[in-house]
Amino acid sequence: MTNTVYRLASVEVRFGLRLALDIDELEITAGRPHILMGPNGSGKSTLLSVLAFLRKPDHGCVAFSGTPVSWTRKELGSLRKCITLLHQQSYLFSGTVMANVGFGLRLRGAKKEEIRRSVGQTLATVGLAGFETRDAAHLSGGEARRVALARALACRPQVLLLDEPLAHVDQESADIIEELITAQSRDGTTIVMSSHDEHIPERLPSRVIRLKEGRMPRT
Amino acid sequence: MSFITESLRKAVLLILSGSPDVFSAVGTSLNVAVCSIVLASLLGIPAGICTAVAEFRLKRVLMVLLNSLMAVPTVVLGLLVYGLISRQGALGTWNLLFTPSGMIIGLTLLALPIVTNYSLAAVKGADWRIVPTALTLGASWLQSLVQLAREVRFGIFAAVIAGFGRVISEVGVAMMLGGNIRGYTRTMTTAIALETSKGEFAFGLALGIILMGVSLAINTVLTLLQEKRQS
């Protein structure tokens, strides 16, 4: 059983002529938090979209749990059920909080009662107990981010990818989100998150991956 | 002025008395319009969504073509379908000319670019994060497109309503492909054209009032949908 979740080799992503990501070699280890750091435009979000199997690299190899990814539609469908990505500006679907948080569970074939119970529990962990019937369109920014995180956590992913989860949220929401990330990491979920906060590694023991202009500078 | 007032009085009486000729035309109109809009929606909504999200070489050409097709004169479309379903046409053996089925084919082709274009516009105006969000939560490509359609449902309803408004008020295709046969293919619009030319102004006016009512209802629904989408 391999301890490496992702192995990237010679991965390149281009947007037109611009080389947005150029990773020689990168390993993401199971159960350990990884923090992507770098200035805006350094390739953090692009790397997360590759890890979320949303963007196929233009060159190179990505292996997940020891198996090289072939990027076929069928394979991507099953791989995406192992990971969830929380976008920097997370989108909530129209409808209730219950419909949003239960979205991934419904796709995984969970029964109604199981979804209701799981949604209630997950909302309680993000400090939003009793929010099930609220309209997702009428939540504050911090509440919306927490609902999006609850939606990702409800799927019980093997890997949780977070794009700037602490940006543009109030202090209360930021504290809750950070506590949850720490708890998830303790429970064995592999976490890869991007952040501008240089102090995060002090609070969350993790491996820092620095990016600059799409590359990992040698230290 | 008294001619208008007198005709209006007769028209209202025709409607209230439940004139079989009036309501037969209303029934035929609604029947062919509903059937054609259902077919156009089944084809046009997926086509609009796929065109909006897919990237392919001739996408711009297709979009220009769809825009142009929205402006095709109905008689020209009627003429083309006439050529297809008339006795010498490719589908001549199916005896579709001067039948409601023939009209439905023509009206479906008329509504198709409208439904497709409006659906395409609704999806293009949607939040780009919908599909990636659905995918990262474990949705298949098809499931994420279904979710996208749900998110832009008001825009898609508007597309269907706009298409319905076009086919219910159309006269060229209905006249050429239906033949205006009383009690069979005579619609509100073709009956108005025929009866008015015969001097039966009140009869035409009665159908005109009903048609205006249908148009008013369609526009009310469209306005409500737009308000809901904006909110």
pLDDT 10s digits, B144-191: 999 999 999 999 999 999 999 999 999 999 999 999 999 999 999 999
pLDDT value at B138 more than 60? yes
CA atoms of A178 and A199, how far apart (whole Å): 12
Among candidate residues B208, B154, B153, B219, the one with its CA nearest the CA of residue B14? B208
Write out chain B residues lying below 8 Å of A73, CB-based: 140-141
Q: How far is A155 from chain B (nearest CA, A)?
A: 7
Would you state the pLDDT for residue A2? 53
pLDDT value at B228 more than 80? no
Name the residue with tokens 């202009």.
A213
Would you state the pLDDT for residue B231? 64
CA atoms of A83 and A69, how far apart (whole Å): 14
Question: What are the sequence ranges of the domains in chain B?
Answer: 20-230
Would you state the pLDDT for residue B197? 92
Q: How far is A49 from chain B (nearest CA, A)?
A: 9
Report the mean per-residue pLDDT for chain B: 92
pLDDT 10s digits, A156-201: 999 999 999 888 888 888 888 888 888 888 888 999 999 988 888 8
Q: Which of B127, B132, B137 sits opposite A103 (nearest CB)?
A: B137
Side-chain-facing half-sphere of A33: CA atoms under 13 Å: 22
Would you state the pLDDT for residue A67? 94
| Residue B117 CB contacts under 8 Å (≥ 6 apart), including other chains | B48, B66, B67, B70, B159
Q: Which residue of B has its CA nearest to A159?
A: B136
Would you state the pLDDT for residue A200? 84
pLDDT 10s digits, B194-221: 999 999 999 999 999 999 998 898 888 8
Q: Which residues of chain A have pLDDT under 50?
A: 1
Instruction: State mean pLDDT over B80-101.
Output: 94
Cβ distance A89 to B129 less than 8 Å, yes or no, reads yes
Structural domains of chain A, with CATH = 4-210 (3.40.50.300)
pLDDT > 70: what percent of chain B?
98
**Fold exhibited by the domain B20-230:** MetI-like fold (1.10.3720)
Q: CA dist B86 to A173, B73, B113, Å? A: 69, 20, 24
ipTM: 0.89
Q: How far is A94 from chain B (nearest CA, A)?
A: 6
Which of B55, B136, B148 has the most A C-beta neighbours within 10 Å, making it the best mutation to test the interface with A? Answer: B136
Would you state the pLDDT for residue A8? 96
Would you state the pLDDT for residue A92? 96
- Residue B116's pLDDT band (boundaries 50, 70, 90)? very high
CA atoms of A130 and A165, how far apart (whole Å): 23
- Residue B1's pLDDT band (boundaries 50, 70, 90)? low
Would you state the pLDDT for residue B224? 85
Radius of gyration from C-alpha coordinates of chain B? 20
What is the reported pTM?
Answer: 0.86
